[in-house]
Structure 1
Amino acid sequence: MDVRVRGGGPVEPFFSARDLLATEYDLEQPVVVQIRDNPDERTMVGHYDDRHELIVSRRAATSAMARELALHEFAHMARYEEGHPSHLQPTEEALFLALAGRSVERRKLSHCYQIANHMKDIYADDITLDIGPTAKLVDFMESSLARALVETPSSAPVGWTRLTETADPEITAVNAAFALALLERHDAIDADHRLYDLAAAAAADAPSIPFPQFKTHFRSLGNDPDESEYRKALVDVTRTYALSNEQAAD
């Protein structure tokens, strides 16, 4: 597995993540890591004919989670190369199928894309949690959810997807369901962990969100779905979120 780091940043986290991934998986295409100075730049992955490309901020590349972040992104690349439906299914197509004929506010539509990313993250992290240590990821999810709850408006992820400056209680509840589901899939969290209390608070802040349903959906995703099965799962969870306020009213 060929990893090339450019931009004058640290190389060790990326090489260490490469070595971890290589214990179980390999990438046919080389990985080019571009470290950029903009601290607010989102981490982005691109797939091309001759390479995978990871763009990451210098702040992320020098953080305590740098190796775990790199391993997570390398796992996405592995899923892409193996042709996993979660990484080939166009998100726009699933959203069109889920929301056809309905009017959805822009805020909730943006959240639907975030939920689609959670679906991808589940399958990427099925790799990372199988081959890498889990303690730092659990701590990261706990601190992310705690921060989101503080930022949630008084009227009222987690995971790898970035939260907005002021957390929306509805997507925060879904993020909490994702975090618990992922960790429970891999027996990476004890039943008395503080994350359960935080998740319960997030669910209470968003009564229109069927929290148990989202957690069950994420946790029970099949390991090897075909294209049709994955599309249906993505359509179902998208529709559940987009129509959650209508369902709560009923």
Structure 2
Amino acid sequence: MPIIQSLDRALKILDLFDERTRELSITEISKKMNLHKSTVHSLLKTLQAHRYISQNEETGKYMLGLKLFERGNLVVSNLDLRSVARKHLEWLSETTSLTTHLVILDGQEGVYIDKVEGSGVTVFYSRIGRRVPIHTSAVGKALVSSKDNQELKKLLKGYHFTKRTENSIGSEGDFIKEINQVRASGFAVDNEENEVGIVCVSVPIKDYSGKTIAAVSMSTPAASATDETLAYFVKLLKECTNRISRELGFEYEKI
């Protein structure tokens, strides 16, 4: 597999810093990398533009940027979240025989970070690491439901409401109306909006501060998604997310 040279060099620059080497001058980096200063300067400026490298204004030396801290914290929090949520996802799947998902928000998309296959219907579109549009998915709707309309409009700037099925929401106005309903009910539904023949329901997870940090969903065949069945699934989902949120320090009201 070919390696992209510029990316490889940029990552190696980041690896030069450790607990004992907090700052380096461009000359020092050039010597360690065995590269011309002009090449190193271009790489540093690119990393600096994306906040992976910062520069000490007094000494002119370079150091690791806050973007690495932000990304590192995201990875750690996701690992903690998965370990806390896993047994609850398994309980939910075993109770319903359905596939359960754990999803986080990344920009304008949801990202599956865990999945437990049910013994019933197989859901093909979901896999760990896959992204899903927020407007066609129950998890996407649940993830953004804690945002007020001003925050939501900011998030949706430049968003494309691509219709994946005939049922998909096709405009920002309709999406905001949908989110208002999600806020009122405490759960979100994907009514064959992402995959024909599959209905999903989802409920958000909150951390100790009350911030929505993830969502859990279940998928069921549309043919069996009666109002009574969905109400039962929502009840179980709320029990599941209640337990996860409590372990993360948030206290839900009793269902």
Q: TM-score, normalised by structure 1?
A: 0.29
* Bigger Cα Rg: 2
> Which of the two has greater helix per residue?
1
- The higher relative CO (CA closer than 8 Å, separation ≥ 6) is in 1
